[in-house]
Amino acid sequence: MDRKSVGLVQSHTYTFADADEPLVLESGKTLAPVAVAYETYGSPNADRSNAVLICHALSGDAHAAGYHHPHDKHLGWWDGMIGPGKAFDTDRYWVICSNAIGGCKGTTGPASIHPKTGKAHGLDFPIVTIRDMVDVQQRLITHLGIERLYSVAGGSMGGFQVLEWALRYPEKVRSAICLASSARLSAQGIAFNAVGRNAITKDSAWAEGHYEGDGPENGLAIARMVGHITYLSELLMDSKFGRRLQSADRLSYDFSTEFAVESYLNHKGNAFKRRFDANSYLYMTKAMDYFDIERSYGPLNRAFADIQARFMIVAYSTDWLFPSAQSKALVHALLACNKDVSFIEVDSPYGHDAFLVEEDRLAQIMAAFLSGGEKADVLGGHS
């Protein structure tokens, strides 16, 4: 086994809420029971003050590192960042990752079985928000005996959760790492999500959200294709695919898949439909659309007044889904509130996906930020 791997890991489930004390969502709707799938890596120290929470992006899950069985070919989605000697050093930190509410990888969502009907919730499942995701994580953290997180980190939709954590539970977050994210999704981002949702709901197999079996696989594949375009930069697509044809330089003069980039997107769409639930895609993208710090906490230059966390904001030069200007707006707002914030823009050709791809460069940045917090604690800079 690789010394730097966390190795074999086990998934866990925490269940809470019942008819007498349901989870009250931001919309006012209630939900019970709520199951939360999560994994942990490393070990807690005596007072559990070394806990780091990892928040996943749109299509992520609780499996952030390691593997589930000896022949498992699917390492956790951030395996390069979590482990002994890595950015989230499991010799130092107790790392936790849970599947977001509304997801489809063990946490209660639209594909979960409704206790009264014995069937999947489908669209009877209430709309969830980023705040709801964080509230559920907070219940899990309390269950695990953690009073204050050493850090919370995530990119994209995970970055939304990081920001919500620092704003909603300021006393529970010592440091925060927000990657490739912003104070809200742009109109262009909402538009791409809307196209993806329409691809799903216009699929005849969607059945108004109450499908059984495979469901709207074609619609989900198209939604993923559209979304994946936003994750890549124009520079990367040109260098990786250009206008290259699949077979020599012969044109077929029909509507078959001819260009290499078409084949790539088809592959991504087909792979995604085998591992994700279509209704969860609707709910996750809607939660992203709704997130808006100013609507929830007031003008951005005053919204961070009560946070206690040190912040690290990371942007990527070719990310056009969450461009650097949006990250800089967060930095300016934090500085306006006299908060401790570090910022770096990483020059990368990988677009929005860079926070998942550029692990070596990101690891150095985050390890330094996290160890800086340890030094500050020794010096009495942070309690």
Q: Domains, the chain, ranges and CATH? A: 12-189+292-379 (3.40.50.1820), 191-284 (1.10.1740.110)
Query: pLDDT value at position 175?
Result: 98
Residues 304-327: tens digit of each pLDDT: 999 999 999 999 999 999 999 999
- pLDDT beneath 50, residues of the chain: 1, 375-383
Tokens of 78: 């951030």
DSSP 8-state symbol, 330: H
* Average pLDDT taken over every residue of the chain: 93
DSSP 8-state symbol, 16: E
Asked if 190 and 289 count as a contact pair (C-beta separation under 8 A), the reply is yes
State how far the Cα of 353 lies from the Cα of 231, in Å rounded to an integer.
5
* Residues with a known catalytic role: 156, 319, 352
Global confidence as pTM: 0.94
Place of tokens 């088809």: 266
What is the residue type of 39? E
Query: pLDDT value at position 254?
Result: 82
Using alpha carbons, list the distances in angstroms from residue 332 to 43, 159, 174, 301, 335: 36, 17, 20, 7, 5
State how far the Cα of 40 lies from the Cα of 35, in Å rounded to an integer.
16
Angle at the Cα of 225 from the Cα atoms of 219 and 228, rounded to 5 degrees: 140
State how far the Cα of 338 lies from the Cα of 15, in Å rounded to an integer.
39
Nearest in space to 369 (alpha carbons), one of 108, 89, 129: 89
The answer to whether the Cα torsion of 321, 323, 326, 328 is positive or negative is positive
